[in-house]
Structure 1
Amino acid sequence: MTPSAAPRLTGRARAGLLAGARRVRGGIALAVQAGVGAGIAWFIAHDVIGRPQPFFAPIAAVITLASSVGQRARRTAELVLGVAIGIGIGDALILLIGTGPWQIGLVVLLAILVATAVGGGTPLVVQSASSAVLVATLTSSTGLPWTRFFDALVGGGVGLVVMTVLLPLNPLTVVKRAADPALRAFADGLHHVATALRARDRDEVDAALVELRAAETSFAAFSAAVTAARENVAFAPARWRTRGALAQYVDGAMQATHALRNARVLVRRVSTGLGDEEKMPDVLATAITLLGDSVDLMRQEWAKAAEPLAARQRALSAVSEAAKAYDDGVGFSGGVVVAQIRSAATDLLRATGVDFAEAPRLVRRAAGWRDRARTTRRPGRRPPAPGHA
């Protein structure tokens, strides 16, 4: 091992440990919920109701609580329906054809087909198959079919009570934790593009595009967290006080996603323009940097529950800077880049709470198209199209 390799390995190990610690810290609340829910579900089904082996109750409670990406009520319904399908098919077939490897395979096959036929999602399909397997392998010790279905109802109900009344997660914390990496990746990708454009390095532009495509996954998690938070606030009275602080994330998540998609179009056109050796003025790189700054400022201001005034101003500055590109002269790709900067800025303004109709007006004013059209028009030549906001 070279002397320089040891510090790198140490740094990676430390970073891995810190990342693991952050993941553990983020999962503690859900782990506590699941542990408490499973224990309560078993206690009610076994000690209160008197079921001898109510293993479906804690399973149902854990699955309900593990559905932390929103739509828990729907997932609980799918869970119970899946249990019903699996138990019904398993009991019927095992009664007719007995037990064994091929019987288990047939039971699972039919359970999945039925769950799919009724339009079930992944939770319903998985639970149908797993319930069928449990029935097929443990049928001699589980009692009557309706008792297993009742266990699932108990567990699902306990899970819902735990997540809404006893130990509701803080939806604001969940959303912040999901939004931060998404917005960081977005801002970093734009800054990467700007640096590559200044250097006229097409390979780095393409690398930045890969980063922004990967950010789509983080944004999907962000949107899912917003859905979960909205549901959590609606059903958990203890979290009603967080509604105001959540509004920025809830209202802005979709528009931020639109801005990301417009930015990806922007980056593809930058790559094309460099590949065609088209003139790309430095003001475009400056404008893209300002756009990245706007995303990062929005992240910071959202985290502080502050009015994102700085983010709005930086987005409008990006539009103003991009408009200067027409003074320096741009080709087709450069014109598309300007238009996409305007589109992304409009989305960011809407994400920060600007009225849907007001945002494009602010963008047009920042671009100064009316004055620019009068001062730059030449005889026999139409001004370049600014694109849509």
Structure 2
Amino acid sequence: MPDSAAVKTRLRDELSTRIARVRKDFFQSLQIVASGVGAYYIAEQFLGHHEPIFAATAAIVSLGYVSGATHARRILEVSLGVILGIAIGDVLMLLMGQGMWQATFVLFISIQIARFLDKGILFTIQMGLQSTLVVLLPPSPDGVFARSLDGVVGGLCAFLLMFIFPKDPRKEPRRNASALMNAFADVFYSSAKAMKEYDGKAAWLALSEARQLQPLFNKCEADVVTAIGLAKLSIVGKSQQGELKTLSKRFSATDLAIRNTRVLNRRMASTLENVQLSSTAVDSLAQVFVDIGNAVHTLGEGMSAKERETRRGMMHKARTELEHVAATLEPHQMKVETLEGESLVLMTRPLVVDLLEVTGLSHEDAVDQLVPLGESITERAPKTNILPVIAAPQTSAVRVESLLHDVPQEEAEQPVDTAAINTVLRTRAANSKDSTTDSR
């Protein structure tokens, strides 16, 4: 039997989610009602049509709740689908009459024409539905193409409502940005805790948190596209499009940062379970994760703020915080002395670059903020100036050993396999460790 307390909590959460959804879409619900009733009234009172249900249908479907596509395209698809569908139905009904087989033929023809004209699913559905209804329903007393005109009235009413009485399209993207970046910051705080406590299981949980960011990001990406479409239809939308387009660019850079975070967390979890880093390396890496988390939290405040000056101030603050982190991401400077620890530092560098791009820096300027790595990362690593360009996938371990010492110029020009280099490096490190143990 399920725990009653857990069931109550789940029901309470579900109820809260549903209420929040109603509140979020309340203004758009008013728009849909006004558009549908208005279209019906105009077609009936001004055009003299009897029961112009197609006018209300076109208006309601055009303003339906949508995410991830522009309202302008949706309204056009619905309006054209209704008009063409009704027109095709009227023409074919005149030629073939009414009945089930006529309706079947009309539906098939309408769908084929719709797929030829447009790839949109909504367009196809509207054409097929409206043409079939025209053939199945009794003829309109207002004339052959009266229903097509009703569809035009419904589409125009939808456009008019969106233009004169728009909602602020920035509200939802701002709320989503705050939720996404706060959850993103929590991933780094969890990573810092896992590193500080040297807990592999906690690191895997941090990776799970990073993976759960994807649905949040997808919602942000879809809603900002919808918001830009709403702004284009709005009478005051020009002043809003700039912020929305900037937010869209910030989301694109955030997407890259999230992907790099998953890679970093996966490597960190494996490292904590299989390798013991020094205490200084653990402390420095944990502090870097905390600093990045703080910067991401600041980014969220900057992306969700209503006032322009507040957004600029928060972005400047986040950039300063990330530049400080970028200036420390050098293994020697962080007291990281093992290959495994260095890999975590190196994986953090492109992540910080992505976050700097979220603040508005170009990629080149963001990369310039990173502290240079120098010629060598560790004492065991070969100097980069003696490693030739890789041109072939296979090289013997004996050939690699020669690269770790003095290498003649003619041999340095030969191709080398980096996988073999890693094998030799690890072997030498293990032999050195065994020799130290034997001497003791």
* Same fold at TM > 0.5: yes
Counting only pairs closer than 5 Å after superposition, residues 199-210 of structure 1 correspond to structure 2 as: 199=197, 201-202=199-200, 204-210=202-208
Alpha-carbon distance in 1 for matches of 2:185, 2:300: 9
Counting only pairs closer than 5 Å after superposition, residues 1-389 of structure 1 correspond to structure 2 as: 8-66=6-64, 67=66, 69-91=68-90, 96=96, 98-100=98-100, 104=103, 107-141=106-140, 144=143, 146-165=145-164, 167-199=165-197, 201-202=199-200, 204-242=202-240, 246=244, 248-274=246-272, 277-278=274-275, 281-282=281-282, 283-304=284-305, 305=307, 306=310, 307=313, 308-320=315-327, 322-324=329-331, 327-331=335-339, 334-362=341-369, 364=370, 368-369=371-372, 373=374, 378=379, 381-382=382-383
Alpha-carbon distance in 2 for matches of 1:135, 1:204: 62
Alpha-carbon distance in 2 for matches of 1:142, 1:210: 63
- Find the counterpart in structure 1 of residue 422 from structure 2: none
Counterpart residue type for residue 122 of structure 1:
I
Deviation at 1:260, TM superposition (A): 1.8
Show structure 1 runs of 5+ residues with no match. none
Alpha-carbon distance in 1 for matches of 2:144, 2:335: 77
Deviation at 1:204, TM superposition (A): 4.8
Alpha-carbon distance in 2 for matches of 1:335, 1:97: 78
- Find the counterpart in structure 1 of residue 410 from structure 2: none
Distance 1:12 1:198, change over 3 A: same
Deviation at 1:98, TM superposition (A): 4.2
Alpha-carbon distance in 2 for matches of 1:317, 1:347: 15
Alpha-carbon distance in 1 for matches of 2:206, 2:104: 47
CA displacement, residues 250-287 of structure 1 (integer Å, 9 cap, x when unaligned) = 44222222222222332333345456x24564233443
Deviates more, 1:319-328 or 1:69-78: 319-328
Deviation at 1:59, TM superposition (A): 1.9
Alpha-carbon distance in 2 for matches of 1:329, 1:6: 53
8 Å contact from structure 2 (residues 87, 148) kept in 1: no
Counterpart residue type for residue 123 of structure 1:
L
Alpha-carbon distance in 2 for matches of 1:129, 1:278: 63
Deviates more, 1:345-354 or 1:140-149: 140-149
Residue aligned with 1:357, SS: helix
Counterpart residue type for residue 310 of structure 1:
K
Alpha-carbon distance in 2 for matches of 1:57, 1:124: 16
Deviates more, 1:117-126 or 1:154-163: 117-126
Task: Give me the identity figure in percent.
Answer: 25
CA displacement, residues 60-84 of structure 1 (integer Å, 9 cap, x when unaligned) = 2222222454422222222233224
Q: Which has the higher helix share?
A: 1
Distance 1:294 1:44, change over 3 A: same
Alpha-carbon distance in 1 for matches of 2:140, 2:104: 20
CA displacement, residues 140-166 of structure 1 (integer Å, 9 cap, x when unaligned) = 44865532222222111111111121x
Residue aligned with 1:128, SS: helix
Alpha-carbon distance in 2 for matches of 1:339, 1:21: 45
Alpha-carbon distance in 1 for matches of 2:122, 2:58: 11
| Total equivalences in the alignment | 373
CA displacement, residues 163-197 of structure 1 (integer Å, 9 cap, x when unaligned) = 121x1011221221332333233233343344445
8 Å contact from structure 1 (residues 255, 348) kept in 2: yes
8 Å contact from structure 2 (residues 70, 230) kept in 1: no
Deviation at 1:45, TM superposition (A): 1.3
The TM-score, its normalising length taken from structure 1, stands at 0.80
8 Å contact from structure 2 (residues 50, 142) kept in 1: no
Deviates more, 1:189-198 or 1:152-161: 189-198
Deviation at 1:49, TM superposition (A): 1.3
Counterpart residue type for residue 96 of structure 1:
M
Residue aligned with 2:99, SS: coil
Distance 1:233 1:85, change over 3 A: closer
Distance 1:383 1:161, change over 3 A: same
Residue aligned with 1:238, SS: coil
Counterpart residue type for residue 355 of structure 2:
L
CA RMSD of aligned residues (A): 3.5
Deviation at 1:380, TM superposition (A): 7.2
Alpha-carbon distance in 2 for matches of 1:269, 1:36: 55
Deviates more, 1:345-354 or 1:211-220: 211-220
Alpha-carbon distance in 1 for matches of 2:356, 2:73: 33
Alpha-carbon distance in 1 for matches of 2:267, 2:102: 57
Alpha-carbon distance in 2 for matches of 1:312, 1:292: 13
Deviation at 1:113, TM superposition (A): 3.6
Larger radius of gyration: 2
Alpha-carbon distance in 1 for matches of 2:32, 2:119: 24
Distance 1:313 1:36, change over 3 A: same
Residue aligned with 1:381, SS: coil
Deviates more, 1:134-143 or 1:213-222: 134-143
Alpha-carbon distance in 2 for matches of 1:346, 1:29: 40
8 Å contact from structure 2 (residues 169, 227) kept in 1: yes
